Structure 1
Amino acid sequence: MEHYTGVRPQSNRTRSLSHTSPVEVSLQAALDALGDPVRRRIVRELAEVPDWSRPCGTFTHLPVAKSTLSHHFAVLRDAGLLEQRDEGSRRLNRLRRAEFDSRFPGLLSLVLEEPGDAAR
């Protein structure tokens, strides 16, 4: 095996992301994911933009550490609310609104109608 100098080792970003289908999510898991005000704010902000247009790095205005923000994104992914894909150095997001609404009719609408300052 050849060894190349100056080549960056593979990072954790190259591993594939796991996405849970909303069909596989229990009501309790959905409620738990939406129970956190920061996660509800992420969902509301993603609902306002086109799919795949908002990278994770644009959520630094939220009052949590970067590692905590990563955890919030993982919880939303595991609850079937969020789909993510890596594009270069950015991780883009898509709210799985139609799929989630099909599984839990009306639940996401309640979150989206919540006043914007409720997560502060």
Structure 2
Amino acid sequence: MQLIHPDPEDFALTDVLSALGNPIRLEVVRRLNQGEHLNCTTALPHMPQSTASHHWRVLRESGLLQQTREGRVITMTLRKADIDKRFPGLLDAVVAPKGQAL
């Protein structure tokens, strides 16, 4: 199965905000933004695979996540540069720790 990623010019603000509106997906984005290296198995180990796959699809299709297949493992990378180019400052504002002023 090929993983399809949108081009940055096709990112929709509503899709990005909707993806980030889920606390599980927001936490994954925060972890990736802090430099954690995650794959589909390690990111949400206690979640059923079908539920985790749904979260990955939403993040990937919104443009927030780049998934790369490496053998049987799919690694995830935050598309920070692409998001920042399309929506400057949005990601930093949303993933900032609670109570931290920008």
Q: Distance in 1 between matches of 2:67 and 2:22?
A: 20
User: Which residue of structure 1 lines up, in the alignment, with residue 97 of structure 2?
Assistant: 114
Does structure 2 conserve the Cα–Cα contact (< 8 Å) formed by 1:22 and 1:79? no
RMSD: 1.6
Note the residue ranges of structure 2 that are not aligned, 5 or more in a row: none
User: Which residue of structure 2 lines up, in the alignment, with residue 37 of structure 1?
Assistant: 23
Q: Report the structure number with the largest CA radius of gyration.
A: 1
Residue 103, structure 1, aligned to residue 86, structure 2:
yes
Name the CA shift for 1:34/1:60 in 2 (closer, same or farther; >3 Å). Answer: closer
Does structure 2 conserve the Cα–Cα contact (< 8 Å) formed by 1:22 and 1:81? no
Note the residue ranges of structure 1 that are not aligned, 5 or more in a row: 1-14, 116-120
AA matched with 2:92 = S
Secondary structure of the corresponding residue to residue 92 of structure 1:
strand
Shift of 1:89: 1.4
Q: Distance in 2 between matches of 1:113 and 1:106?
A: 11
The normalised TM-score by structure 2 is 0.85
Q: Distance in 1 between matches of 2:51 and 2:94?
A: 21
Sequence identity percentage: 41
Spell out the pairing of 1:1-120 with structure 2 (5 A cutoff): 15-49=1-35, 53-61=37-45, 64-115=47-98
Secondary structure of the corresponding residue to residue 35 of structure 2:
coil
